[in-house]
Amino acid sequence: MTDTPPGVDLERLRPWFAAHVDGATGGELAASLISGGRSNLTYAIRDAGAQYVLRRPPLGHVLPTAHDMAREYKVLTALAPTAVPVPKTLAFCDDASVNDAPFYVMELVDGKILRTSADVGTLSRDEARRCSEELIDVLVAIHAVDYEAVGLGDFGHPDGYVERQVRRWGEQWERSKTRELPAVDELARRLRGALPDSPRPTIVHGDYRLDNTMLAPDDPGRIVAVLDWEMATLGDPLADLGLYLLYYVRDDAQTGNVGATISAEAGFLPRDDVVERYAQESGRDVSQLDFYEALAAYKLAIILEGIHARFLMGKTVGEGFDHIGSLVEIMVQGALDQCSRSSIAALRG
């Protein structure tokens, strides 16, 4: 088909779907890129009988340990019987001859994703409040899963998680960077000096935010699926909360326009109420959140630099990449400014 998006070979996928995906007819396939993904690529795949979702790595500049389809498939499958809403997984393929890279197939969930500020603006104040409460409740549910009981005991190495995060993301920066940015090195130095004592480890989503969730079509206060588990591991649950807060009461310039930003003015819970709700429901100490927010900004800036590098090589699919590089500096400087106001001395430099 002449309009098939890059990243899927439908002729090769057709017999594989027929052999491995329940319900596939073996007939001709059609595909469309699902917008919003700037890392792993997500497609809607259709045949005469049903629709599916296919996830695969980006087309180029794949960092070591990143975009691991098997890990994402494993965690989604393990979470199916828990209270965490996730799509049902259908099949996994690690044979690159089928579609040039590993991929997996899951069900297409009926719901809506709020990707932009305009999408968020469609919510009433009551809907926004209930949505923000549900977002925290689901995050608490993720962190409450007994990962040993669901077969994820070997999913990560939680000891030393935050130190390892700072170190590994520094290594990712060295692999991804397209220029020298001393502010990135300074932020890393402050993070290394302010490592907190982590609470008991949990499953960590790694990229939990509003537009990585799908809301019920008739109820924005109910999440029907948590998506994009490519960065999931076992570790410090407060890392998820820190990243989630990175998108709270900030504009697109501060967050790199990566996801729908959330404003208390629109009816969402104020930031302090979010922190209090999480602390009460999870029972965790949140006094060191400044560190986790700074770590989140550090990671997101490096992710944006990797996306910028792929854009420069012509390896991105979709639109909205041409301004990403300039946002890395904005994000890192914003994090340093916040660190300088922190009650944690090491973060102040």
Homologous superfamily in CATH for domain 117-348: Aminoglycoside phosphotransferase (APH), C-terminal lobe (3.90.1200.10)
β pairing state of 41-46 and 30-33: antiparallel
| Distance separating alpha carbons of residues 216 and 55, to the nearest angstrom | 22
Residue entry with tokens 């690690």? 94
- What crossing angle do the helices spanning 161-176 and 289-312 adopt, rounded to 10°? 20
Spans in the chain with pLDDT lower than 50 = 1-2, 36-37, 61, 63-65, 251-257
Distances in Å between the Cα of 237 and the Cα atoms of 148, 209, 287 are 16, 14, 14
10-107 and 117-348 in the same fold: no
85 SS3 class: coil
Please give the backbone phi and psi of residue 246, each rounded to the nearest 5 degrees, phi first.
-60, -30
Residue ranges covered by each domain of the chain: 10-107, 117-348
* Region label for 122, one of left (φ > 0), alpha (ψ between -120 and 50) or beta (otherwise): alpha
| pLDDT given at position 323 | 75
In CATH, the number for domain 10-107 is 3.30.200.20
Residue entry with tokens 């935050």? 162
Two tokens at 54?
């296919």
| pLDDT given at position 36 | 43
Sheet containing 103-107: give its strands across: 30-33, 41-46, 51-56, 103-107, 89-93
Distances in Å between the Cα of 207 and the Cα atoms of 246, 293, 315 are 11, 13, 22
Two tokens at 311?
């854009």
| pLDDT given at position 245 | 92
DSSP annotation of 98: H
Q: Residue type for 195, please?
A: L
Give this prediction's pTM: 0.88
* Region label for 136, one of left (φ > 0), alpha (ψ between -120 and 50) or beta (otherwise): alpha
Q: Are 332 and 301 in contact (CB under 8 A)?
A: yes
Please give the backbone phi and psi of residue 93, each rounded to the nearest 5 degrees, phi first.
-135, 125
CA end-to-end distance (rounded Å), the chain: 56
| Distance separating alpha carbons of residues 110 and 100, to the nearest angstrom | 29
